[in-house]
Structures are given as C-alpha cells and as structure tokens.
Amino acid sequence: MHNFHKERTLVVIKPDGVQRSLIGEIIKRFERSGLKLIGLKFIVPSAEFIEAHYTLDKNWLVNVGNKSIQGLKDKGIVPSTEDPETAGRKVLDTLKKYMVSGPVVVMAWQGANAVKIVRKIVGNTEPLASDVGTIRGDFVLDSYNFADADARSVRNLVHASGSVEEADMELGHWFKEGELVNYRLVQEQILYDVNLDGILE
C-alpha cells in the first residue's frame, strides 16, 4: 500500500456554520466520504490568529483580491478598486471580524486526495456559484456582491485548505504536535487494501 492515503487537510466550520446548527450535517459529509478524522477542537480564534492564518501563503492576499474583482466583473458589476492587493486587504479585514464572532470547529481530515476531495464537498467560494450538492451550494445564499455592498465577508460556512502545501502550513498553525491522532480505521481496509482478501470466511 502506498502512502497516498496519508494526505491531510484542514477544515474549519466558521461561526455561521456553528450558529446555523450545521455542525453535524457538515461533519457527516466529510465522514461518509471515507476520510478519517484525526484532529478536532472547538475554539474562539483571535483576530491576530486569523490574520496569520490567511497570510501563511504570501500570495493569498493578491489571489483573493483578483478573484473578488473578477467575480464582480463577471456579473457586470464595477469593482470599487482595480488593485488586487487593496481588494485582498479589504477581504482580510472583514475576515478578522467574521471569524472571531463566535466559536469555530477545527478539524484535520486524512485520506487519499484529502485536499481535493474536501474542496469538492465544500464547493465554490461564492455560494451563488457553488454547485447544488456541495455544502456551500446547499446551505448558503450569499454572493460577492451582497457581501461587498455591506463591507463584510462572504458567509460560506466552512474553510478548507486549497492545496497540499496550504494544508501543511494551516495544520501546523491550528494544531500542536501531538494533537493529531494516528490510528487505524477499520474501513480503511476496504478503501485502500490491494487484495481485498480478508472479507470472505
């Protein structure tokens, strides 16, 4: 068996997910995928901690700015700034209010293709554009436009790491050494075992 099933990713149920009583619904969707929960905590983060989280990747600010400008333009809306860094900084400021407004559920999930599988289950950043069947598509009706008009974050229930590198940095930020648990889950045999030779008696 290769080590591909050891890929890890960070998921945070944001304050709106907790307030809308969707903790169980959200966890269920990751759990039934076959991924393994290896870390879990319930905390209220600080604004400094959130800023550090979103700036672990030095390119995030410009990327999120570009995504936000493009998202508005795609709908024929003129963005208030054309500068991605300024737009990104605005998003970060709103995130520092949003993410500290109440408790969040922090989770580490492990399994084959964990990062991409989780992003697929979570759906597109903007709920208006996320597919039905995804967490953001099924439970949210927010858009960049509405969030922008009220100078607040898009409320989209969950954070999920965007790449394996991002996941490694974020897991190190949210979890201490020893808080992630190594253990065997019985269903891993049916997910990953090469020969499936332990089933029939």
Whose CA is closest to 101, among 12, 11, 10, 19?
19
Binding segment (CB under 5 A) for Mg ion, from list 27-35, 130-138, 154-162, 168-176: 154-162
β-bridge pairing 8-13 and 36-43: unpaired
Q: Residue 89 Cβ, how far from ligand ADP at the closest point, in Å?
A: 12
- DSSP β-ladder status, 36-43 and 104-110: antiparallel
37-96 residues in contact with ligand ADP (CB under 6 A) are 64, 67-68, 91, 94-95
Assess 127 for contact with Mg ion (CB under 5 A): no
Q: Please list the helix, strand and coil fractions of the chain in percent, rounded to the nearest 5, in that order.
A: 45, 15, 40
In the complex, what is the shortest distance from the CB of residue 14 to ligand ADP, in angstroms, rounded to a whole number? 7
53 catalytic? Reply is: no
Residue number, nearest CB to ligand ADP: 68
Q: Residues 8, 107, 162, 174: which binds Mg ion (CB under 5 A)?
A: 162
**Total interface residues for ligand ADP by CB under 6 A:** 15
Q: Is the separation of the CB atoms in 45 and 133 below 8 Å?
A: no
In sequence order, the β-bridge partners of residue 43 are 104
Q: Which 3 state secondary structure label does DSSP give 147?
A: helix
Site for ligand ADP in 133-152 (CB under 6 A): 144, 147-148
Helices (H) and strands (E) in the chain, counts: 10, 4
Positions marked active-site: 159
Binding region for ligand ADP (CB under 6 A): 64, 67-68, 91, 94-95, 125, 144, 147-148, 153-154, 156, 159, 162
- Residues near Mg ion (CB under 5 A): 162
